Amino acid sequence: MCFLVSLYRENFCNFNFQNVKNQFSCDQIVLSNFLLHMESYCLAGNGEELLDKFLVAVEMTWRGVELPIVHEKSSFFFFSGLLQTNDKVALKEITRQLQLENVIGDKVFGSFAENLAFLLEALRKGDRTSSCPVLFILDEFDLFVHHKNQTLLYNLFDISQSAQTPVTVIGLTCRQDILELLEKRVKSRFSHRQIYLMNSFDFKQYIRIFKEQLSLPAEFPDESFAQRWNNNVQRLPEDKTVQDTLQNLFHYTKDLRSLHLLLMLAVSNVTVHHPLITASDLQEASRQHRMDSRANIVHGLSVLEICLIIAMKHLNDVYEGEPFNFQMVYNEFQKFIQRKAHSMYNFEKPVVMKAFEHLLQLELVKPIERPSVRAQREYLLMNLLLDNNQIMDALQAYPNCPTDVKQWAASSLSWL
């Protein structure tokens, strides 16, 4: 049992995509061709896990491809836009990973200009026939594009175009318009090869992927259990509720990461007493996955805070979404207390202010501009970040709500 669960954890959490090879077989052939020609590429993909998959595919290809020049030291370097946030850091990292001579242990010596000159010289020294090829993979490529002057990209693409050490640069990004972001001189050095990775499967294939992801592989030690489990998995999509759940998820997002999250939640309910996944497990997982977080927060507010939110809702209705300040909300609240409320005690202004500030802290209400020292807190203009439907739904679910508060919320404009 533990083995089963840990197997799934490996697959879903570590995002080890070895078992989804078939999607990229054609790309592998394409890739090995490209690698032989040593140029620079840009890959745009929808959804980030596709890029992870591609990375794995690249890695496998690189190790498996028969290049005409094969050296033991195959150089495959991976950089991420999230980590290397500007050119200086990126350059140091490149120097460190390439283990050039100005690196001792982990420290890189020299200034930015020196490092750059050194790196370019090192890369220029070789030629196509005798040096080992270098592959740079830049993850979050769109973040690299925002560096100052795009110097790093310019130099890397420059080297890859000239006939020296064979260098390939592959950029991975989520943006489809990445070429617009490149500067003119950088774009001219780019080889304009783009591979688009899209999730192009339809719902039937989605269900097939679901079954595949959930089935146990052949190497699983307990054969009879594996058999039972796989049979159960094959039968699951025939259930209407399972189909509805998957359909909902498919309409919301096609990417496999959300599917994995759902499956992980469902699998975590598997215990010795409950060995097979049922439709209700999936339904429960889906419900958890799709909770409305703002409604949850509103559920936990006190009655006074709910009254303030209803007062803001009325203000929004009357003034059509114009920003309001605390004084207006308090006024509206006073009107309610004097006219209709029998269950609410007339709280004093500082107490109401404290409740209002709690709403500010939860970011349900946001000021339009940053509060300056000069302006009084009561007159600061704000906007409500909930809409009417959310408020009414949340009120339905609110426990022990006094009836006059509910009626006030449902009442339309009384004095217009």
Q: Does 338 bind another protein (CB under 8 A)?
A: no
Q: Does 111 bind another protein (CB under 8 A)?
A: no
Q: Does 52 bind another protein (CB under 8 A)?
A: yes
Query: Under a CB-based contact definition with an 8 Å cutoff, are residues 380 and 326 in contact?
Result: yes
The first and second tokens of residue 221, run together, are: 């030690």
Q: Does 128 bind another protein (CB under 8 A)?
A: no
Q: How far is the CB of 225 from another protein (least distance, A)?
A: 16
Sole window of 61-69, 164-172, 194-202, 268-276 interacting with another protein (rule: CB under 8 A): 268-276
Single out the residue of 98, 179, 261, 337 in contact with another protein (rule: CB under 8 A).
261
- The distance from CA 400 to its chain's CA centroid, rounded to whole angstroms, is 37
Q: Would you call 270 exposed, middle or buried from its count of C-beta atoms within 10 A (0-12, 13-18, 19+)?
A: middle
Single out the residue of 76, 201, 225, 347 in contact with another protein (rule: CB under 8 A).
347
x-or-dash string of contact with another protein, 144-183, rule CB under 8 A: ------------------------------x---------
Q: In the Cβ-directed half-sphere of 346, how many Cα atoms lie within 13 Å? A: 9
3-state helix, strand, coil in the chain (%, to 5): 55, 10, 35
Single out the residue of 22, 129, 338, 361 in contact with another protein (rule: CB under 8 A).
361
Q: How far is the CB of 87 from another protein (least distance, A)?
A: 12
Identity of the residue, 109 or 379, whose beta carbon is nearer to another protein in the bound complex: 379
Q: Does 340 bind another protein (CB under 8 A)?
A: no
Sole window of 20-28, 160-168, 227-235, 359-367 interacting with another protein (rule: CB under 8 A): 359-367
Residue 219 CA to residue 221 CA, distance in Å, equals 6
Q: Does 10 bind another protein (CB under 8 A)?
A: yes
x-or-dash string of contact with another protein, 370-409, rule CB under 8 A: ----xxx-xx-------------------xx---------
Sole window of 17-25, 56-64, 158-166, 324-332 interacting with another protein (rule: CB under 8 A): 324-332
x-or-dash string of contact with another protein, 273-292, rule CB under 8 A: ------------------x-
Q: Does 89 bind another protein (CB under 8 A)?
A: yes
Q: What is the DSSP string of 115-138?
A: HHHHHHHHHHS--TTTSPPEEEEE
Query: Under a CB-based contact definition with an 8 Å cutoff, are residues 178 and 171 in contact?
Result: yes
The SS3 call for residue 355 is: helix
Alpha-carbon dihedral angle through residues 280, 264, 47, 207, given to the nearest 10 degrees: -50
Q: Does 294 bind another protein (CB under 8 A)?
A: yes
Q: How far is the CB of 80 from another protein (least distance, A)?
A: 6
Q: What single DSSP character describes residue 198?
A: -
Identity of the residue, 70 or 375, whose beta carbon is nearer to another protein in the bound complex: 375
The first and second tokens of residue 269, run together, are: 């309910």
Sheet containing 167-173: order of strands: 75-80, 134-139, 167-173, 40-45, 193-197
Single out the residue of 297, 337, 341, 392 in contact with another protein (rule: CB under 8 A).
297
Amino acid at position 67, single letter: L
Q: Does 316 bind another protein (CB under 8 A)?
A: no
Q: Does 325 bind another protein (CB under 8 A)?
A: yes
CA distance readout (Å), 180 to 39, 142, 177, 188: 20, 11, 6, 12
Alpha-carbon dihedral angle through residues 285, 290, 296, 297, given to the nearest 10 degrees: 120
Identity of the residue, 195 or 261, whose beta carbon is nearer to another protein in the bound complex: 261
Q: In the Cβ-directed half-sphere of 41, how many Cα atoms lie within 13 Å? A: 25
Single out the residue of 228, 257, 335, 406 in contact with another protein (rule: CB under 8 A).
257
Residue 317 CA to residue 402 CA, distance in Å, equals 22
Contacts of 307 (CB under 8 A, 6+ apart): 333, 336, 344, 405, 408
Report the interface residues with another protein, using CB under 8 A. 1-2, 5-6, 9-10, 13-15, 48, 52, 80-85, 89, 92-93, 106, 142-143, 174, 257-258, 261, 264, 268-269, 271-272, 291, 293-294, 296-297, 299-304, 325, 327-328, 331, 344-345, 347-351, 354-355, 358, 361-363, 374-376, 378-379, 399-400
